Every structure is written in C-alpha cells, then in structure tokens.
Amino acid sequence: MQCAKCGREVKYLFYFEGIGYGSECFKTVTGMTVEEHESNQRIKKEKQTKEEFILNNPIIYVCIDKDSYNKKDSLKANKFQYHYKWWIGFNIEGLEELEFLQFSTEEYFQGWGYCYSSKTAYEFLASYEEDEKSLYREIETELKKKDTSNWIGQEKEKVQLKVTLNKITGYSNDFGWTNIYIFKDENDNTLTWKTAKDMEWEEGQEIEIKATVKAHEEYDCKKQTSILRVKEV
C-alpha cells in the first residue's frame, strides 16, 4: 500500500477525506495523530446519533395510569421499561387511553457520549445518571401536584369516620405478623392502620370507625394518614 503524499510503501493506510496516508503523513496533512482523529470521529458520531435519537423521540412518556400493571405487556411491546417506580418509554402508539406524564427528552438528556447505541428508553435513561435522577425528582413533583387527596385531622386528634376498607395487607418481622388495613374515606383520602389484631373485615366493606391520628405521611407521592386505636362504631 502506498502513501498518497510521499509515495512510500506502508503497512496501513489511514484515510482522511477519502485519501489514504501513512501514519506520519496523516499527521502532517491533518494536524492530528491517527488516534486523535479516530477519537474525534467517534465523538462526532456519538453526538450525531444522540441528536437523531432526540429528534426521533422528543417526548419521554411516564405511565402513571392506575391500570399500568395490567397493561404491562402492551407497554413492553412499545419498548417501555419498568424503572424505579414507573414504566418509561417514548412510543405511546395504541396506548393513548392510558395516563402519561410527558417530559422533553432534550431537557433531561443533556449528557451525551454514552448513549449512541441505546435502543430503549431504559438504556438511554441509564446512560446519564444525573439526568435520570433529575427526571425522577420531576416525576415525583408532578405526581404530588396531581394528588388531590388530603390528610385527616391533626396528630393525636380523635376522629370518627365512615370509611371503606380498600385493602388488607401486612408484613412479618421478629415480633410476628402485622396487618395493614388501608381505608378510603368518603373524599377518597387514604388512612392506614398497622396492628397485630385480626379484624373480621373484608376488602370493600364499609365501616364506621373511631381512631386516633398517629401521623401524616406520604406514600408513592400520595398523602395518607396513619391511625391508631381503631374501633368499629
């Protein structure tokens, strides 16, 4: 192989603007070593690929639908991935009936250089950790804004309420099993009672209760009131 500048036989040719040079002449012609040139080309390509990606996927969709778990196969089919607490993706074709938050891809992915081969929202998201965290903070802020429910009463206040038992769950630890009774009041506010007691209640049942407010808490960006000393009236 022959260098196009000096005509010498060389083992490898390095191309610049379509012309092949030996490594020494390459440096003379381009002002860069072969390695510097290749690194520049790679960075240029990564930048270009990222710009194309943002152009083709301008909106990050975060599924906040109550039904998202049941729709997970459809979400997966659209390359949505479950990350942290949410299904996140770029394509909602056929999923328009679900509820999504929308964010600008460009705004949350300022970092570049690692994401050029990303095929999915998850890979893209994970490619730049700071962007990922700031997106999650923003999702939580938006969800808190959307939460129209309220806390009940004041700490230590005794309350009497008509509630529906929404869910019975629980956990076990060294002290045994603890039930968690989750109630909704008439205004869709959430109350939770953690107790070792087993009540003769069923999910969906309407109950009038007396209780003491223990604390105002937040769970999954929603307000909930934990209560103590619950008695059926």
Which letter, b or e, does each residue of 29-47 get, where b requires 16 or more Cβ atoms within 10 Å of its Cβ?
bbeeebeebeeeeeeeebe
When the beta carbons of 9 and 93 are compared against Zn ion, the nearer one is 9
φ, ψ dihedrals at 183, nearest 5°: -115, 155
| Choices 3-11, 194-202, 204-212, 217-225; region in contact with Zn ion by CB under 5 A | 3-11
**Angular region, 53: left φ>0, alpha ψ -120 to 50, beta rest:** alpha
Please report which residue ranges of 147-225 form alpha helices under DSSP H.
none
Is residue 125 a contact point for Zn ion (CB under 5 A)? no
When the beta carbons of 9 and 202 are compared against Zn ion, the nearer one is 9
The nearest distance, CB 15 to Zn ion, in angstroms, is: 13
Is residue 5 a contact point for Zn ion (CB under 5 A)? yes
What number of helices (H) and strands (E) belong to the chain? 6, 11
When the beta carbons of 5 and 184 are compared against Zn ion, the nearer one is 5
Residues 19, 39: Cα–Cα separation, whole Å: 19
| Choices 24-32, 82-90, 109-117, 166-174; region in contact with Zn ion by CB under 5 A | 24-32
Is residue 191 a contact point for Zn ion (CB under 5 A)? no
Q: Report how far apart, in Å, the C-alpha atoms of 152 and of each of 10, 38, 172, 210 are.
A: 82, 64, 27, 13
For residue 110, count other CB atoms closer than 10 A to its CB: 10
Is residue 6 a contact point for Zn ion (CB under 5 A)? yes
The nearest distance, CB 1 to Zn ion, in angstroms, is: 11
| Choices 6-14, 39-47, 66-74, 204-212; region in contact with Zn ion by CB under 5 A | 6-14
Is residue 1 a contact point for Zn ion (CB under 5 A)? no
* Burial class of residue 158 (count of CB atoms within 10 Å of its CB; 0-12, 13-18, 19+): exposed
Is residue 22 a contact point for Zn ion (CB under 5 A)? yes
| Choices 16-24, 91-99, 107-115, 180-188; region in contact with Zn ion by CB under 5 A | 16-24
- List residues binding Zn ion (CB under 5 A): 3, 5-6, 22, 25
